[in-house]
Every structure is written in structure tokens, then in C-alpha cells.
Structure 1
Amino acid sequence: MTERRMVAAIDTSLVATAAAAFSVLCASTSFAGVLADSRWVFPALLVVVVVAALGVLGRRLHWPLYATASTQVAGVLVVLSSQFAEHAVLGLLPGPAAISELGELLSGAADVVRTGVPPVPAEPALQALVCLGLGLVAIVVDLVVVGLRSPAVSGLLLLCVFAIPASLSDTMLPWWTFVAGGVGFAVLLASGGQHRRWRRHEDREQVTRALFGPTSTAVAGTAGVIALLTGVVFTGVGTEGRLPGSVPEQFGGTDGIGLQPFTSLRGQLNRDKEVELFRVRGLKEPTYLRALTLRKFDPERGWELEGLTQGVEANAQLPLPEGTDIGEGDAQRVEIQPIGYRDPWLPVFGVPRFLSGMGVNWRYDPASGIVFTQTNQESRPYVQQLVVPKPTPEQLRDARGPMRVAPEYLDTTGIPPQVTDLAQRLTADAGTEFDKAVALNRYFTDPSNGFRYDLQTAPAGGGDALSEFLFRGKRGFCEQYASSMAALLRAVGIPSRVAIGFTAGYRQGDERVITTEDAHAWVEAYFPGWGWQTFDPTPLSDGRSALPQYLNSELHPAQQPSSAPDPAQPSTPPTDGSTPGGGPQDDQGARPAPVDPRETEQSNPWPIAIGVLVLALALLAAPAVVREVRRRQRVRAISGGAAGSAGLAWQEVLDEFRDRGAQPAATDTARQVATKLLEHHALDESGAKAMRALVVAVEREWYSANGRSDESLPETLRTVLDSLRRASPLDLRSRAFPRSVLQLLRPQP
């Protein structure tokens, strides 16, 4: 007589839930291509696991789909509050204050997504945005795969997860992310493709064969190849680090282009590592490299580009900037080689007079001093002939004449009255426009006024950002300094604009190297005849400042000549931790380097330690939880008189013995196994009797053509287990790490 093989049953809904969570996590690897570090991984893993766990709970309690989904949404909010909100109720629950914090974080993250240049640091704002998105995707995928049993449909959602970082990156995402996504989707299909034939509890061997068999392996391999090819296509139609619509293909008229360059600038300053952008040959002395200028001040959104015209062809002799009559200065020829830079703005030094080598379709706008392109193209090495104006303080004091610039450069709309009052008080003793500009510049650089350079601005106090920085926070980086001084200049009638670009970097041999550490913002003020002149209220203390002589001699009259590095003396690359700016002076007059906010954030190990501890505890508890869930499933099925109840009862008895170290031989019959177990564990009389009854029920179910379910089977099983627990109680280790879960189960005779 042949023996019937026993196979362990498994809940197919658990398989589908795990596959859904696994596929979302595989798709989330695509964010590795746009986020510069891995701080987002643990919160993302946590939110997906919480969604899966709440889905299992809802289905165990037979909740309707909407109740389960609502609970999962609440779970996502709890994870976000516990991870990113300082004012969560009990440090965990999303109260009104926590919701407000999360809203501000997500708003900031939206700006970074719109204008940041990947890869960007995974700051808390971006972590929150990624976790929220993955949480919502995980909820919908769980609903579609497990609730509606339509796993193939979820592929569209997973594709959207890939499409977002693919559209943000100007290079191909890591190849392994596409392979991971394809494998995750293949496992998802394998776990759900047979649901219409699978029962709620299916035997383990069949499930394993469906998940990891030849068919699934072939599907996974094919999906990986297709996903890899799809990734190449997505990258090929990317948008150079911005979402579609952020930078339209055409510039024209007087409309703004919606660019928020300060967000991109902050991304440059906050990078985890220094990235080389340009190599420059022929620059005689340090001078700021200007990429674009901003003329519109919005009290809520800050400074924006506006009024960019079609300009003139850049590959030709260039006119003097608008409103400039004096073309005197130091004429230079500079060779610029872009290395890690790609943008529609071509940076230039001083007053450009001729450009060549950068390719076609580049335009120069004399009004804004910007060189730009309307087509998607790589930046090539280019040559610039320029003039560096060198007016004296006396010449700028004597500058007189009409303001031949657009009236928008004098627009004071949105500047609060208290800011205007401050500007007038600071310039009350200044006799000329130049002296007013110097007085305003000195207000920020004088340590006695309490301003401090920092890559993190002071916490908002509820007022407008300009007043908050000037009167209360007094802490920020070049964005706040340049923005504030430009507003103060306009408040006293001096045309001004904010310039975005780079300092001159450091000397390396006969070249100057400009990196992401040199990203900077400064101010340009207009003087009749001389045009736009540079002012810089940000206290740079790392040797990279490029203050013009007329400003340096006024701010530091005791330092003659200019404090700028002598071009004959080779400068050295910045030391680790240096930043393009300085902080307040200490008592000895030295400005300490500002503290990198990433170092400050990483100096507190407790959030990460607690998270790792919670994850470790969850992993440690997993075997016992799996064992208990399996036991309850079997008992429920046996009590309900399900088909194969005797086999399930026998499997539960075998697992109890395995937990105690017994391992029945594969060749033994059920009677032989029972005899050995009774002898080894010395069950009492009631237990031995129940064991023999269970063997009879099992043999009747396996070998009898008309095997019927035994109504006394639940009581028989309970008696066997009670007797076993009295005769051989499990120790703590065996309860925490049951051998029946940890060892690989094989079919038993």
C-alpha cells in the first residue's frame, strides 16, 4: 500500500501580501538614482512593512476593504509623525501640530523635486515625501493584489514609481534597480496568478513551485531585461533633473520661467560630497562666475527670474550690458571646461564681450547678463573674452545720470515697512548711493550685528521670511544674505538684483577648479555709466571670496591691497568640512567654519539606534509569531471540519515534536512515528490514548476511499498537545525560536 505524502498548508493571502510589499520595496530602489545617500531606506522599509502588517490584521479580523485601507492610511501617518514630526502626540501619533509640520516638510520637498539637481541629499523633507508616496502605493497595491486579486493591474502603479526618479535624473538610473523592479513584479505575478485556482490554504510545495519554479524564473528574467531596456528609454527622454514643465523649451517676452534657483543652490551646498563642475584657465584673479540674475522679488516665494528676452546670438561680439557706457577694465581671455555641469544657463565672468566654442543656439540677454539656451544640449568647453571693471570708490560715488535699466529693478512691492525703515536708518549718514550700498553690505558682515552664516536657517517665527531673517533669525546662508541686501538696496532707491553662480574655486597648477562647494549668491547694484557692480554681504572666510577692490577697500580699510588671494601665490583645495561661507567671528577675530547640517543631524544616533532596535526585536519575534499564526490556522480549520483535518492535526503534532528537537524519519509510517514519539517523551495514559486515536483518524483519511471527518478530532488533538506540554514543556529559547519554523520543512510520510 502506497503512503500519502503530507505537505504543510500555507495561507495564500499571506503570500500575496508579502509579494505586494516586496514588489513595492523593489520598485523603491529606483530612488537610489536621485537621492545621494541611504537615510531614506529605513523609513521607507518601515512604512511598507506597516502597511502590509495592517493589511494582514484587517483580513484576519474580516474587516471590509475600506476599513482596512483606512487603517493602513492611519498607519502611514503614524510612521510619518514618529519619524519626521517633533510635536507628535506621545512622539508617535499625528496630532494637529504634527500634521502642520508634515505639511511644511512636504511643501519644501516639492520645491526640491521641482528644481533640485540629482542626486540630492536625502534630507528629512525628501524622506517624508518618499515615504508618503511609497506608503500610498503600498496601500493601493495591497488592495489590488490581495483584496481584488488582480496583481497584473498593480504593474501600472509600480511603473509610476520608476517613472518619477527616471524623469528627474539626467543619467541612467542604476541598472540593478530595474532588475530589482522586474524581479519584484515577476514574484507578484507568480504569487497571485493562480488565485482563482488556489484555495485559501494551499500546500506549501505547490506555492513554492509557483513562486520559484522554472516558469517564474523565466518571467523574472524576461521582466528584468524589459525593465532594463525601459529604464534606458525613460532616461533618454528625461528632463535634466527637473519635472516636465519646470523649464519650458522657449524663453520669451516678459514672462517668468518659473525657475526657483535658490532651491537648486541649496542642493549644491548640501551635497554629501564635493563634485567638480568647471576647470578654468587664464583667469588672472578670483572673480565670481555668474550663471543668472533675478530681478523680481516676491514676499512669499523669494527672488525669481523675470523678463528674460530672446537677446542676441552669443557666438558673436556681445554688446555692453544694458545701461552700461563705460567698458573700461582688465581685459582677459578665459577658457572654461564644464565637467559635472549641465544646465540651460552658461556661466560667465565679469562683462562678457565675446563667446565661442559652446555650440549653437546659445543666446545672450544684455539686460540680465545671462547666457542661455533654448535647446537640450550638453555644455561644451568654451572660450570667453571679458572685461573685469575696476572702478574706484570715488568713481562710483561720482556716478550720476539717469537709471537706464528696467523699472522692475526698483520695484519695492512686497518689502515690509519695517525693512524699509531699517534700510533708511542704516544709510542715514551715507552721502552717496555707493556709500549707502557699502553701509548695507557692512551691516551683514559686522560681527556686532549678530548675523551668523549657517546652511540651516533659523526656525520660522510666523512672520515673512525677509523680516524673520533681518530682525529675529539672523542665521542663514548666501540666499538669505543676498536676498535681504537686494531688498534693502531697493528700499533706499538703488536698483538691485540677485546673482546666482559660483565663487572662483581654488587653484590647481595653472587652472582654477570650481566645484559644488563654490555655489554662491551675491548682489549686483546699478550705478549710472558703470552698470551693474558686485556686492557680497555673505562673510566668506575660506579664502574663496572675490570682493572687488572698491568694496574691499571700504569694508577693510586697514587691509591694503585687496585681501583676495594673490594670483601669484597658489591656493590649495579646501580642507574637509569647508563650506563656501563663514560664520560669526569669535573673540580673536577668526571666523570658524560653519557646521555642516548633515554632521549635526548625524551626531544624534538615538533615532537610528531606536529604529534598528525596533527592527531587530521585530525580526527576533517573527519566528514565534509565524508559529502561533500557523497553529491558530490549523486549529480553526480542524474545528470547522475542513477537508484534510486529520492531516492538519497530525502536522501540528509533528511540529510540536520538532519544536522539542525530534525529527521523524522520512521512511517511517504514521504508527512508527507515533510509537517513537510516545517512547521518547513519555506521554501519560490520556495522551497516549489520544495519540493512537489520532493515528487511526489519519490513516482513515489517507487510505480509506470513504474517509470521513472525525467530530472528536479537535478534542483528540487538544488532549495530545496538553499531555505533551505536561510531559515535556518547552524552554524559553524553543518558544522564541521554534525549530519547526526555522528548519526547512520536507514532506513527511
Structure 2
Amino acid sequence: MPVGPGTPGIGGGTMTEAHPGNAGPASRRSAAVRAALPASGLAAAATIASATALTSVIAGLSWLVPIAVAVLLVAGTGSAARLLGLPAVVVGPCQLIVLLLGVTAMFAEHGIAVAVPGPAALDELHTLLLTAGEEIRTGTPPIGASGPIVLLTTLAVGVVAVLVDTLAVPAKAPAAAGLALLCIYAIPASLSNQMLPWWSFVLGATAFAALITVHGSHRRWQTFHRHRSAREAVAAAAPVPVTLMSLAVVLGLVSGVTVTSIGTVGQLPSGSDEQGGVSSGMGITPFTSLRGMLNHDEEREMFRVRGLEDDRQLMRAFTLDTYRPDEGWSLADRDSLPAGLPATEPLPVPGGASRSPDTEITIQPVGWEDVWLPVYGEPSSIDGIDDRWHYDTMSGTVFSEHRERPPTYSITTSLRDARPAELRAAEPDPGAPASVYTEVDDVDPRVAELAEEVTAGEESTFDQAAALWRYFTEDGRFTYDTSTAPPSEEAANDALADFVLFGRTGFCEQFASSMAVMLRAIDIPARVAVGFTSGEKQGEHRSITSRDAHAWVEVYFGEQHGWMPFDPTPLDDGRSTTPLYLEGQRDSSGREDDAAAQGPQERDGNTDDQAAAPPEDSTTAGNRVDAGSLPTGAPPTWSQWLAGVSLALATALGCAAVLAARSTSRLRRRPDGVRPGARYLSLAAPWLPVGAAACGVLGLAMLSWQLSGWLAWLVAVLAGGAVAPWLLREIGRRRRLHTLLSRRADAADAAWQELIAECADRRIPIGIADTVRDAALRMGEGGRLGADGQQQLHAVVTCLERSWYGPAGETSGDLAAAYERLRASLASAAPVDMAGRLFPRSVVGF
């Protein structure tokens, strides 16, 4: 018999009326979404406002446009998903998917139908992110708003927008969203040499305070709306939050000015900068790539050099001693920089008594900021620097422990060119140089054979090196270009062999890397030097710009002569430097270097920019960008595929879990029992969420690995810990529901235990000592059950008592249907918020 208002209920009590006020589920959902729109909009506004703090580390403002687009996509997707009635746990992944589609459309050129990220687009985005990491590592804030930097920033802020929207709307915890927004402020505060802009702090604080205000007003309105009109409720609720918001902004600004500072002085990890907060310097990356493209950042002056006159010399910043197969040349793995000698004292030089007259050169850094101090030749002394600079005799470099902008300095150095006869007679001393300069591993046998073939018949180290130099610079065998040729099928897995044997097109990094490897393959000590060509003469000084960055080879000729440069890059723009000892080493035909003449005709003055950090005033010329050199330590390609497969499986299993839950729910409503096959579906249902969660965590970890190995571990631990409570709850729920669907003898107990867990999730207090009927009264009151809910609760309790006290194994066939209708009534009258779903109180206990 239906139970109406005032009908005697369980335990002698009275069943309560249906909870007032409620239209159908669709109307309630639409009203809830409309009520959440202000919070969603303010969450997006707070995220964009907080992102303006990055103006202290990224030049310009154009990069804010794609960030704003990404944040609005996230907010719009969240509102649309909630309007469609998607489960709260699905909304976040939907926002991340749309964010990826938007990023693909804005930054990738090979997206399927523009926005769908296929393998080519994912590889392109991966390359851009790695390039962004290198630009961050080598640049100095504010760095240019290059495409890779804008991509990385857009992705990071987009993910923060998803987190803020989740906390502010479904979780109804906007205060916690402030922690995510603080992460955005923490990045420029730790990296910038300057104060964060005050207006950025005001915008972010105001938007966040408004978000808190709207949330507080909405909660107070919910409390008052049963007794007052909506306008009266908002008017009564608003003054307190608005007052608190205003006081918070004012107090924050006052304390920021009088008590502490917004921002830090100096940058990580070097601490304070005694150069007065220089924020416009550039450096170059200690790495050469075997594939890729040159960055085309705007040209910027780096040095002004006096004392060279018309002498065209290469300026060395540092040298690279380690070849990494299929990647390029880099510094050897060390825990720290070598100890070195004080650079302020007289420096040891090769040559001894035969050393030519010294030249004094004055170098004025204009846009240079790095740990390296560029020098010419073999300096004997350096003036104008302090004791923070050191000289490493093995590598021939001057360095400091921390990145800084050096003052104007003068070097005394020898610029003489040895005669070919002298170099032919020179032989490396036993045990010199260090073995690191002769080691080379995993060289393609075809490349080693080619080195032997090119140098066949040459007896001295000099003649062998000159033969290899001619091989790269003469006869048009190789072409200089700002990008390497596409990988060939014959050597797709070995970039060096591909360049030397098939592609034969590239820029200075490929030429220097290849010649150095071939020299070591025939046991000649060699290394790759990175620095600058001689630049252009302007009045009394030579101006060296970022476009003059260059890489070449240095060959060791014993203690008497030391390291001598060989530049194998066939340049044709007047920047190439050929030392006197190579001038007479052309082929017998006397033909001058015509290799470069075969190259591209349009170069726009571009040169071998050694992965220079972007200049301060560079901006993105559109959202699509070219890929730069790849850094070392890139994760294996299979990790990208594993990430894609794992996330696809997670999506598929998640959808299967949702469908299985809905199908089994419908089956439990059938009073005539279920087919045996349906029980297998119910049996598999508890493990579908497990598979989805495991694949999702693995996929996120593999994606994070593309940026950093430790980040992958951190994401795996955090994501696993975050989903563990929800996962345990789902497993327990579905196992009990399977028992109920199977109509076993303990089905009533399983249904009751699940109801107890549902009440715990909704903070409905049920004590351990409560009887079944006392617990049922608490469920009815705390869950605000209507007439139908009360009736179904009565049916469940009756079935439970009958299973306890009736004939053994007696279970009503209507138990499953009654339970399903009771759970639907409970979910409608007392829904669980997002926080309660992710961290069920029946599992975590609070």
C-alpha cells in the first residue's frame, strides 16, 4: 500500500513528506547549471587574471590570447557537459580533451581536420614542448613569446583552469582553487629579477575574491530561499562577502607594499644578481643536434669587439666533448663543473717560447648572459672580471658557477696561424689529451669506412683532418640550409649516418658534429666548439649578433700547438673563416668552395644560431612555429605510443564501466528476474573502473615523461593516490550490487550495507548501535525522502528482516527493484558533491 503523508512508518514513527520544491530532473539540472554559470565564469576570469603575472617572465602580451582562448574553451566545455547531465567525474576529462583539441588547432600544422591530434601532430607538439624546455633553460626572463613557449604556457594554464573549474563548481570549494592559482604566481615570483606587476596581483585577487563572494552568496541564498524571495535572499547574503572581499584586497595590497615584496630578487638557482637585475640577456645551449631546424628569432646584438681590426676570428664560448648517438654532441655527464683555475690569474697556454706576439682584445657583452665567458684563441690573461670566473685548461673554456651577465673584459691572446709544415710534424703527446676526446661509440660502420676512404693515403694528423675538411666544403657534396633533409629509409634510426651518407643538407651543428665523429673514428682527438663567427665591422668595433652563433671542429696537435679550428660548414655569406694553414689545402684543381653556392638562394641572412634563447622582444608570428634543436635525455618513442594507447583504453573502459552500471541498474529494476548472461556483466562491472583508472594513471605518467622523468613519477603517485578512495568505493559498491542482482541468500544484507555506505557518503549519521529501524528513520529524515522513497525504504527493511527471521534463504524478488528506486530517490533528494565522489566518506572516514 502506498505510504502517504502522515502514514505510520517503520518503528512506530511517521514517514515524512516528499521534499518540497522540485520539478523534474531535467529542470533541476538546467537550474543548477544556470546557478553555477557565475562561478564558472569567475573561475575562468580568475585563471586568466592570474596568468597575467607571467608578463614578468614572458615578453609582450600577445601570448595571453591563446591562453584566454584555452581557458574559455575549458569553462564552456564544463558548462555544456554539466547541462547535458554528464557525471561530474567525466566533465574534467572532457575539458582536458577539448583543451588538447584547441591546442592542436592553434599550434600544430598536421592535425587531422585541423584540431584532432594524430601521431604527426602529437610528435609536433612533443618537439615544441622539448624546444620550450630548452628555451627556458637557456633564456633569461623575460624570454621571448616564441611558439614553443606560448604552447607550454597555454597547456599549463589550461590544466590549471580545469582544476580551478572543478574545485569551484562541482566540488563547491573555491577556496581550494586559490592554491592552484597561487602556483601560477609562484613561477614568475621565483624566476623574475623584477617585482611582479601590481595590477596583475589586483586583477587576480579581485577575481578570486569575487569567486568566493558568489559562492558564499549562493550558499546563503540556498539557506534562505525556502522562506524569502530570491532577490531578498541575495540582498541579505551579499553584504558580508562583499565587505570581506574588499578588505582582503586592500589589506593584501597594503601588506605587499609595506611588509614584503611581490616577487624575488634574482633567479633560481643562482640567487641574487649583482648586475642590477639584468633581465634581457641570452645564452646558447651546450648541445648540438643532428636533426631539426634553426630558430628564426629576431636578430639581436650580443657583443662589441675591439682589437681585431679586419682579422676574422672565431670566438669560442665552450667546447663539447661527448658524442651521443642519434642525438648530437654535449658536455660529459658531471655532477658539477670542473674546479678550474682562477681566470683572474695568468693562464697556461700551449706554444711556450714559439708563441707569437699577443693581441689585446676588448669584448663588451651587450646581450650576453650565461655561465660561459667567450674568448679568442688561447688567452694568457683576462682583465676586468672578478674571481667568480674560472678557466678549465682541458676544455679551454672560461666559466662561472652561476649564470650572469659579465662586464666589459679584455683578453691577451695569441691569434697566430701555424704553418702546414708545422702541423704535419706535430704529433699528440702520449696520454694527451684526455681519453674523453678520442672516445666515440656506436658509429655506423658505413661512416667509419667513409672516413677511412676519405683519408686514405694521408699520413699525418693534419693531412687527414684537412682531407675530411675538404670532403665537407668542396665539390658541392653538401648543402648548407636552415633545416636538415627528411630522414631516409636507409638510415632513419641514425641521424649522423643519414646526414653524411644520404641527406647531406643541414647547418653548422650537423657539419661540425659529423666531422668530429669521423675524426675520432680514425683515432684523431677532436671536439666540437660552440661560439660565434667574426660578425660585421661597424666603425671601430665588430658587432656580433645572435645570428653569428656557430659550431666548428677543433683538432688536437700536441702541447706545442694545442687545439686548432677546422670549420667544415660551407657558408657563402662572407662569414666563413678559413685559417692560413688551410688556404693552400684545396683540391689540385684550385677550385674555391662552391658547395654553398648549391644551397638555397633565400637565406634572409639566417646563420647557424646555436639554439639561442629567444630575444626579449620577439613575438610569435602566428601560432604555428618551427621546431628547434632537441635536448638530450628525450624519452623513447614507445612512451608516446604507450601514453596514447593507455589513455584510449582508459576512455574505452570508462565508457564501458558507465554503460555496465546503467545496464545492471535497469536489470535490477526488473521484477521477473534476469537472464544468466546478465550476471556475467554484473560480475565484470567492479573491475572495469579498476582498468580505466590504471590505464589513465599510466597514460598521464607517460605523457608527463615527455617533459621529465621525475614529473612522471610524481604524476603517477598523485594521480594514483587521488583515484584510490573513489576506486575502493566503486569496487565495494559494484560487488554488493552484483550480489543483489544475483539474488543470493545474502542479497538483503548486501543491499543494506550499500545503503549504509550511501548514507555515510551523504553525512547522514547512522551509529553502529542503531537498530535497523532506527537507521531507517535516520535515512528517511537525513535523506529527505519523499513518499515513494519512504515506501521503497520500508520494502528494503522488510526484505532484510525477512531474510533474518524467515525461512532460510528466503529473499523477496522485489528487493532489487525496491533498492534501485530507493537509491534513485536518495540521489535526487540528497546528491553527493564532487568532493564526496572523489573522496567518499564511507572510505576515507571524514
* 1:745 equivalent in structure 2: none
SS at match of 1:334: strand
Aligned with 2:186 (options 157, 163, 181): 163
Alignment partner, residue 78 of structure 2: 55
CA distance in structure 2 between the aligned counterparts of 1:472 and 1:267, rounded to whole angstroms:
16
Could you tell me which of 237, 244, 268 is aligned with 1:238?
268
Q: CA RMSD in A?
A: 4.3
Kindly state the Cα deviation for residue 409 of structure 1 after the two structures are TM-superposed.
0.5
CA distance in 2 between partners of 1:475 and 1:26 (Å):
46
Which aligned pairs between 1:526-675 and structure 2 lie closer than 5 A?
Answer: 526-528=556-558, 529-555=560-586, 584-586=596-598, 593=604
1:392 deviation in Å? Answer: 1.4
What is the identity, as a one-letter code, of the residue corresponding to 1:127?
V
The structure 1 residue matched to 2:287, chosen from 229, 244, 262, is 262
Aligned pair in 2 of structure 1 residues 123, 591: CA closer, same or farther (>3 Å)?
Answer: closer
Give 1:399's match in structure 2, choosing from 402, 415, 426. Answer: 426
| Counterpart residue identity of residue 437, structure 1 | A
Once the two structures are TM-superposed, the CA of residue 526 in structure 1 deviates from its matched residue by 0.8
Please point out which of 431, 440, 443 is paired with 2:468: 440
Question: Match for residue 314 of structure 1?
Answer: 343
The alignment status of 1:83 with 2:106, answered yes or no, reads yes
In structure 2, what residue type is equivalent to 1:277? Answer: M
The match for 2:729 is none
Residues 606 and 147 of structure 1: CA distance in aligned 2, closer, same or farther (over 3 Å): closer
Alpha-carbon deviation of 1:262?
3.4
Work out which of the residue numbers 76, 94, 99 in structure 1 matches 2:117: 94
1:305–1:209 distance in 2 versus 1, CA, 3 Å: same
DSSP 3-state at the match of 2:355: coil
Selected match of 1:277 from 302, 308, 316: 302
3-state SS in 1 of match to 2:360: strand
* Offset, 1:67: 0.9
Q: Is the 8 A contact 1:583 1:592 kept in 2?
A: no
Structure 1 partner of 2:725: none
Matched, 1:135 2:158: yes
1:149 match:
172
Distance in 2, Cα, partners of 1:606 & 1:337: 35
Number of corresponding residues:
560
TM-score with structure 1 setting the length: 0.65
Please state how far the C-alpha of 1:164 moved relative to its aligned partner.
Answer: 2.9
Matching residue of 1:385: 412
Do the aligned partners of 1:20 and 1:145 also contact (CA within 8 Å) in 2?
yes
Q: Closer, same or farther in 2 for the Cα pair 1:416/1:606, shift >3 Å?
A: closer
CA gap of 1:512–1:312, structure 2 versus 1, over 3 A, is: same
C-alpha separation in 2, matches of 1:433 and 1:378: 39
Secondary structure of 2:287's aligned partner: helix
Partner of 1:415: 443
Q: Which AA in structure 2 matches 1:585?
A: A
Q: Secondary structure at the match of 1:420?
A: helix
1:362 aligns with 2:375: no
CA apart distance, 1:92? 2.3
CA distance in 2 between partners of 1:476 and 1:191 (Å): 58
How far did 1:483 drift? Answer: 1.4
Contact 1:584 1:592 in 2 (8 A): no
Residue 557 to residue 262, structure 1, CA distance change in 2 (3 Å): farther
Provide the identity percentage: 38
CA 1:112–1:401: 2 relative to 1, 3 Å:
closer
1:523 positional shift: 1.2
Say whether the 8 Å CA contact 2:147–2:624 is kept in structure 1. no
Deviates more, 1:157-166 or 1:340-349: 157-166
Given that 1:335 and 1:383 are in contact with CA atoms closer than 8 Å, whether structure 2 keeps it comes out as yes
Q: For residues 691-702 of structure 1, what are the structure 2 equivalents within 5 Å?
A: none
Aligned to 2:455: 427
Aligned match for 1:66, one of 62, 70, 89: 89
Report whether the alignment pairs 1:16 with 2:47: no
Letter in 2 for 1:538: T
The 1-side partners of 2:595 and 2:143 are apart by 24
Q: Which runs of 5+ in 1 are unaligned?
A: 1-8, 243-258, 564-581, 609-749
Deviates more, 1:108-117 or 1:133-142: 108-117
How far apart are residue 274 of structure 1 and its match? Answer: 2.9
Equivalent residue in structure 1 for 2:496, among 466, 470, 485: 466
Separation of aligned partners in 2, 1:304 and 1:118: 24
- Tell me the CA shift for residue 507 of structure 1: 2.1
Match of 2:480 among 440, 446, 452: 452
Distance 2:189 2:506 in 1: 32
Preserved CA contact (<8 Å) 2:190 2:264? yes
Distance 1:173 1:370 in 2: 36
- Please give the alpha-carbon distance, in whole angstroms, between the structure 2 residues aligned to 1:70 and 1:59: 13
CA–CA separation in structure 2 for the residues paired with 1:57 and 1:143: 14
SS at match of 1:363: strand
Q: Confirm or deny: 8 A CA contact 1:269 1:516 kept in the other structure.
A: no
Q: CA–CA distance in 2 between the matches of 1:354 and 1:602?
A: 40
Match of 1:331 among 358, 365, 369: 358
- 1:453–1:583 contact (8 Å) kept in structure 2: no
Q: Distance in 2 between matches of 1:77 and 1:550?
A: 56
Cα 1:186–1:459 shift into 2, 3 Å:
farther
Alpha-carbon shift at residue 16 of structure 1 (Å):
1.2
Query: CA separation in 2, counterparts of 1:114 and 1:606?
Result: 22
Contact preservation (8 Å) 1:81, 1:91:
yes
Check whether the contact 1:444–1:451 (CA below 8 A) recurs between aligned residues: no
1:299 and 1:197 map into 2 onto residues whose CA distance is: 65
Mapped contact 2:265–2:271 kept (Cα < 8 A) = no
Other structure's SS at 1:554 match? coil
**2:134 is matched with which residue?**
111
The Cα offsets for residues 578-620 of structure 1, whole Å up to 9 and x where unpaired, read as xxxx993159x9885466999xx99998989xxxxxxxxxxxx
Which region of structure 1 is more displaced relative to structure 2, 506-515 or 349-358? 506-515
CA contact (8 A) 1:583 1:591 kept: no
Deviations 1:437-468 (A, max 9, x none): 222223333362142221x3444554233223
Checking the alignment, whether the CA contact within 8 Å between 1:170 and 1:240 is kept in structure 2 is: no
1:20-46 CA distances to partner (integer Å, 9 max, x unpaired)?
111222222344444456664443222
| SS of aligned partner of 1:270 | coil
How far is the alpha carbon of 1:140 from its aligned partner?
0.4
Shift of 1:66: 1.0
1:662-706 per-residue CA deviation (whole Å, 9 max, x = no partner) reads xxxxxxxxxxxxxxxxxxxxxxxxxxxxxxxxxxxxxxxxxxxxx
Does 1:297 find its partner at 2:323? yes
Contact 2:572/2:596 (<8 A) preserved: no
Contact kept? 2:50, 2:200, Cα under 8 Å: yes
**Which position in structure 2 is the counterpart of 1:525?**
555
How far apart are the structure 2 equivalents of 1:44 and 1:264?
30
Alpha-carbon offset, residue 387 of structure 1: 1.0
Q: Which among 346, 365, 369 is matched to residue 342 of structure 1?
A: 369
CA contact (8 A) 2:454 2:467 kept: yes
Q: Could you tell me whether the CA contact under 8 Å between 2:192 and 2:264 is conserved in 1?
A: no
Q: 1:445 to 1:70 in 2, by over 3 A?
A: same
Contact 2:56 2:196 in 1 (8 A): yes
**Which amino acid counterpart does residue 304 of structure 1 have in structure 2?**
S
Match of 1:722 in 2: none
In 2, Cα distance between equivalents of 1:269 and 1:95: 25
C-alpha distance after superposition, 1:356-381 (max 9, x if no partner): 22112321111110111225654122
> Which consecutive residues of structure 2, in runs of 5 or more, have no partner in the other structure?
1-31, 273-283, 626-846
Matched to 1:428, the amino acid is A
Contact 2:195 2:263 in 1 (8 A): no
> How far off is 1:217 after superposition?
5.3
Tell me by how many angstroms 1:165 deviates. 4.3
